[in-house]
Amino acid sequence: MANDARDYLLRQFETAWALTQYHLEGLTTEECLWRPAHKGLHVHKEPEGRWRADWPESEGYDIGPSSIAWLSWHFGFWWSMVLDHSFGDATLSRENVVWPGTADGVREWLGRLQGQWRAKLEQLTDEDLRSTQRTRWPFQDRPFGDVVAWANVELTKNAAELGYARFLYAVRAR
Percent of the chain whose pLDDT exceeds 70: 99
170 HSE (CA, 13 A, CB side): 9
Task: Phi first, then psi: give them for residue 44, nearest 5 degrees.
Answer: -135, 135
**Residue at 88 is within a domain:** yes
Beta bridge partners of 99: 51
Q: ∠ CA 132-7-161 to the nearest 5 degrees? A: 80
Name the DSSP letter for residue 2: T
CA distances for 43 relative to 14, 103, 170, angstroms: 28, 13, 20
Alpha helices per DSSP H over 124-143: 126-130
**Residue at 161 is within a domain:** yes
Helix (H) or strand (E) holding 43: strand 43-45
Average confidence (pLDDT) over 86-101: 97
pTM, full prediction: 0.95
**Cβ-based neighbours of 97, under 8 Å, separated by 6 or more:** 53, 73, 76, 77, 80, 81
**Residue at 56 is within a domain:** no
pLDDT above 80 (res 173): no
What residue numbers bound the domain in which 149 lies?
A: 4-40+64-170
pLDDT in tens, 156-167: 999 999 999 999
**How high is the pLDDT of residue 174?**
72
What's the CATH code of the domain at 157? Answer: 1.20.120.450
Domain tally, the chain: 1
- Tell me the average pLDDT of the chain: 96
155 HSE (CA, 13 A, CB side): 29
Name the band, by pLDDT with cuts 50, 70 and 90, for residue 1. low
pLDDT in tens, 20-76: 999 999 999 999 999 999 999 999 999 999 999 999 999 899 999 999 999 999 999
**Residue at 110 is within a domain:** yes
pLDDT in tens, 105-146: 999 999 999 999 999 999 999 999 999 999 999 999 999 999
**Residue at 45 is within a domain:** no
Average confidence (pLDDT) over 2-27: 96
What is the secondary structure of 48-85 as a DSSP string?
Answer: TS-EEE---S---GGG-PPPHHHHHHHHHHHHHHHHHH
**Residue at 49 is within a domain:** no
Instruction: Please report how the helices 68-87 and 144-170 are oriented relative to each other, as an axis angle in degrees rounded to 10.
Output: 170
**Residue at 58 is within a domain:** no
**Residue at 147 is within a domain:** yes
